[in-house]
Amino acid sequence: MHRRLATALAAPALALVSVLGTATAADAVPADKPQVLASWTQTSASSHNSWTAARADRSAWSAYRFDWSTDYCSTSPDNPFGFPFSTACARHDFGYRNHKAAGTFSANKARIDSAFHEDLKRVCNSYSGATKTACNSTAWTYYQAVKVFG
């Protein structure tokens, strides 16, 4: 009786192990995922532009299984005083969420926050005079908030 039960259970278990083993190999994330993630969370305009292009064509990056979800600027306005900060907030969320998932958040938080500030200042650079000053002040406030509370 025990032998028949063991034999009956062995075949499905072996099949399950086979399927899981195959699924794991087929679903493997590209080895350069950490490098891509790091390149998209730098302070430079080229890093921002690369991330923006990838975000516009997420399907091309599906094998990397990045978390593209965002709540934009969380509980702060996405467009304070009319300044369009939502994309900067989305990239900041991307950096936080994906570095946390990779277990590399604490080593990268300061840079991700700095990249956020640079993204906000790039928004402000499209203004001049008092409007630019107000935008930069708002950007500084948003940066300080994520630096301290993020």
List pLDDT tens digits, range 55-100. Answer: 999 999 999 999 999 999 999 999 999 999 999 999 999 999 999 9
Is 59 within a domain? yes
92 a catalytic residue: yes
Degrees, nearest 5: CA angle 58-48-59: 5
Which pLDDT does position 27 carry in this prediction? 76
d(CA 94, CA 3): 53
Is 112 within a domain? yes
Catalytic site residue from 2, 48, 92, 117? 92
Can you give the residue range of the structural domain that contains 66? 30-149
Could you tell me the CA-to-CA distances from 138 to 28, 64, 86, 93, 131 in Å, in that order? 42, 34, 13, 18, 11
pTM, full prediction: 0.83
CATH number, domain containing residue 75:
1.20.90.10
Is 93 within a domain? yes
d(CA 122, CA 85): 10
